[in-house]
Structure 1
Amino acid sequence: MGQAKPKQTHYSYPEYLDLEQTDGTRYEYYHGEVFAMSGGTINHNRIANNTHHLIDNLISDDCDVFTGDIKVEILANTHYVYPDVVYTCAPKDLEDGQDHKITSPSLVVEVLSKSTRQYDKDQKQNTYMRIPSLRYYILIDQYKYFVEVYERQEGFWKYTTYQQPEDTITLVQLNLHLTVKDIYRKVKF
Structure 2
Amino acid sequence: MMTIPEFDAFVESMAEGKNFELFDGTPLLMSNPSETREQIASNIGANLKLAMDKRGCRTYQGGMMVQASANSTGRDKFRPDVVVRCGPPSNNTFITDPIVVVEVLPPSTIERDRGPKLEFYKNLPTVQHVVLAYSDQMRVEFYYRVENGWEMRVLPTRKAFSILMQWSSVWTWRPSASTSLLTKPPGLGRGQGALARTSDEMAAMTLSLLRSSRSFVVRISL
Q: TM-score, normalised by structure 1?
A: 0.82
Alignment of 1:1-189 (within 5 A): 11-23=2-14, 24=16, 25-30=18-23, 32-59=25-52, 60=54, 62-75=56-69, 76-77=71-72, 78=74, 79-91=76-88, 94-96=89-91, 98=92, 100-165=93-158, 167-168=160-161, 169=164, 173=171, 175-176=201-202, 177-179=205-207, 180-187=210-217
CA contact (8 A) 1:136 1:150 kept: yes
Distance (Å, rounded) in 1 between the aligned partners of 2:218 and 2:143: 26
Give unpaired runs (5+ residues) of structure 2. Answer: 172-196
Provide Cα deviations, 1:44-98, integer angstroms capped at 9, x if missing partner.
100111110000111236211111121101253322111111111032xx312x1
Unaligned runs of 5+ in 1: 1-9
Structure 1 window deviating more from structure 2 (149-158 vs 60-69): it is 60-69
Q: Give the 4+ runs in structure 1 shifted more than 6 A.
A: none
Q: Percent identity?
A: 23
Aligned positions, number? 176
Are the equivalent residues in 1 in contact too, given 2:4–2:77 (CA < 8 A)?
Answer: no
TM-score normalized with structure 2 length: 0.71
Give the aligned CA root-mean-square deviation in angstroms: 2.3
**Larger Rg: 1 or 2?**
2
Could you list the per-position Cα deviations for residues 131-176 of structure 1 after superposition, in whole angstroms to 9, with x for gaps in the alignment? Answer: 0000011110112221111100001212112112573457754544
Task: Tell me if the contact between 2:80 and 2:101 (Cα under 8 Å) persists in the aligned partners.
Answer: yes
- Structure that is richer in strand per residue: 1
Distance in 2 (alpha carbons) for counterparts of 1:162 and 1:181: 11
Matched to 2:60, the amino acid is: F
